[in-house]
Amino acid sequence: MGQNGHMRVALVQTAAGLDPAANLDAIQRLVTGVDAELVVLPEAVMHDFGTPTTPLGPVAQAVDGPFVAGLADLAKQQGATFVGGMFEISDDPNRPFNTLVVVGPSGDLLATYRKAHLYDSFGYRESDRLLAGPATPTVVDVGGFTLGLLTCYDLRFPEHSRALVTAGADVLVLPAAWVRGPLKEDHWSTLVRARAIENTTYVAAAAQTGKAYCGRSMLVDPLGVAVAATGDAEGVVSGLIDREHLAASRERNPALRHRRPWPTSVVTEE
């Protein structure tokens, strides 16, 4: 943890292309000189989704492949933990996993998370080209904070975020490639803030931008205030997460302590 219980978080907003090496070069260009202990990259920053018919199996890599090795070099160079999205080889050659990797400042792979909720919505069919991961909360300790990992469409499922908080998360890390469209930008900003407010957590949401995606990366505090945010331009935005502010927010709004178990079936009275 940084001095006085702080950790500086940098959100990288970029438009990934179809060349993983070029994407790594773009990440390096954007993060060089950035002062942060945690760097959050977007979903699919290794290789963009492309068109709805772009095959993703042939471009998938293993988590010990060249893209993660490149991220490890950047993490060591920056002395920071990096979180970012890739397509990971699976047993199905045509459908890889949509995976987040967490690489520490020593270059070690600290955690992986395979996206559980695939974006079969708003006319899109992510499951045609990708496999869903298990519905298992993935958390990892970084700098004295516990990060809970989400990817893009996972944001629309509040039970997923709550499971991460139940597992100990006090920061929800959300790489995304949130597709543009009518009402989509409003959904993004509303839901990012909602997940922060209902769970009294920080949310660090780093999104792709460009023609297909809405950008609007933001770091939201446990009371729903955007302490750092950007529009749709490429770049880096950063802010502090603070242990004392987290504790004070949870004291002011003790909703997590007020949770009650609810039945999974409806009880009717005769």
- H-helix segments, the chain: 20-31, 66-78, 158-166, 184-199, 243-252
Q: Any catalytic annotation for residue 152?
A: yes
Question: Helices 184-199 & 158-166, crossing angle to 10 degrees?
Answer: 30
The whole-angstrom separation of Cα 212 and Cα 15 is 9
Catalytic residue among 43, 88, 126, 214: 43
Q: Any catalytic annotation for residue 115?
A: yes
Burial class (CB in 10 A: 0-12, 13-18, 19+), 252: exposed
The whole-angstrom separation of Cα 109 and Cα 105 is 10
* Amino acid code (one letter) for 107: G
Catalytic residue among 37, 88, 126, 152: 152
Which backbone phi and psi does 127 adopt, to 5 degrees? Answer: -70, -15
Catalytic residue among 37, 88, 115, 126: 115
The whole-angstrom separation of Cα 55 and Cα 9 is 33
Q: What are the angstrom distances between the C-alpha of 49 and each of 135, 231, 263?
A: 22, 21, 39
CB 171 within 8 A of CB 221: no
List residues with catalytic annotation: 43, 115, 152
